[in-house]
Amino acid sequence: MARTRPLVIGHRGAPGYRPEHTRASYELAIARGVDAVEPDVVVSKDGVLVVRHENEIGSTTDVAQHPEFADRRTIRSVDGEALTGWFVEDFTWDELATLRCRERLPVLRPGSASFDDEQPMLRLRDLLDLVREAGQERGRPIGVVLEIKHATYLAALGWDVAGLVDAELRAAGWGSGELSLVIESFESTVLEQVSERGIVASYIYLLAAEGRPFDLVERDGDAAPTYLQTAAPAGLDLLAGRFDGISIDKAMIVGSAAGSRVVADAHDRGLQVYTWTCRPENAFLTARFRRGAAEAAFGDYEGEWAIIRDAGIDGVFVDHADLGVAFFGG
């Protein structure tokens, strides 16, 4: 049966209320009724798929308070950007397991920050098992929208990211299509590599509102298409038949009068469209929907979200699971 409303996806769990990518964050998102949750994965020094939004962990863990890891702080060029901090690929999983997670945006989300330093990091396998068990307990299917991060960067370090993802999904019982699985990435190369291995999933290509995909820049240099070129009709023509859909920055829908045309153009080519990320705080809303001067205050998020809903999107990422389910899940 076709969906009559968008898939509501707990973006990194429920990070509006708990530090992102923690067990507590995912459990709260599921308790608040999301259809699926979204883990991002990177790779540890010993080849473990770790659930983190990016490989730099200084802003989301207490690693800086561990003197034994002080010498791991370094500078890396990740996807063409110079970053300073601590990086997952420099730690074994046993070392990462000694760290505790922290709220990324403590000024905007002090309530979430009150749970700092309580929860350990998760492996992908931990998250997959958590979601399966939660679905069984609640008697309803709960999906996983798995985002693969930094695949080209990690390949340069010697990691076959597609192979690691394939092995983990199969070992956890998530690769055969019995459970609801979406795989997404800003890099089309790794999506195709996982698909070619036979993992049964919906494959969604992430498109930002600016920039170019790092895998294609590494391969083609300045000839690589921009994300906006890929979202145009000619670019979407090249995606049809290769992937099941696209996932676009909400700015591509609410940021311009013609933005919502992307959704219709994609649908015309048989592509689903997800969008990210619906957040209620003024700091994240389009200017006309902000209310008052406080960045952390909730603005007219329903006004902005209505534009996204009415554009006909198929899936939406939310930070506040209860608000997302209430608005999009009716």
174-217, pLDDT tens digit by residue? 999 999 999 999 999 999 999 999 999 999 999 999 999 999 99
Name the residue ranges covered by the structural domains of the chain: 7-55+120-328
Q: Please report the pLDDT score of residue 1 as a whole number.
A: 42
* CA proximity to 10, closest of 123, 109, 142: 142
Q: Please report the pLDDT score of residue 258 as a whole number.
A: 52
Token duo for residue 195: 């698909």
* Number of C-beta neighbours around residue 106 at 10 A: 15
**196 — phi, psi (to 5°)?**
-65, -20
Instruction: Round to whole Å and give the CA distance between 98 and 120.
Output: 7
AA identity, residue 278: C
Q: How far is CA 184 from the centre of its chain?
A: 8
Residue with tokens 């089309």: 188
Residue 40's DSSP bridge partners are: 147
Token duo for residue 113: 């920050």
Residue 143 pLDDT > 70, yes or no?
Answer: yes
Residue 255 — pLDDT band, cuts 50, 70, 90? Answer: confident
Report, at the CATH architecture level, how domain 7-55+120-328 is classified: Alpha-Beta Barrel (3.20)
What share of the chain in percent tops pLDDT 70? Answer: 97
Question: Crossing angle for the helix pair 124-138 and 161-171, nearest 10 degrees?
Answer: 30
Residues in the chain: 330
Annotate 196-226 with three-state secondary structure: HCCCCCEEEEEECCCCCCHHHHHHHHHHCCC
Instruction: Round to whole Å and give the CA distance between 25 and 323.
Output: 15
Provide the whole-model pTM. 0.96
Residue 4 — pLDDT band, cuts 50, 70, 90? Answer: confident
Instruction: Round to whole Å and give the CA distance between 279 and 302.
Output: 10
Instruction: Round to whole Å and give the CA distance between 262 and 269.
Output: 11
Q: Which is it for strands 122-123 and 49-51: parallel, antiparallel or unpaired?
A: antiparallel
Residue 34's DSSP bridge partners are: none
Q: Which residues contact 147 (CB under 8 A, 6 or more apart)?
A: 38, 39, 40, 41, 184, 185, 206
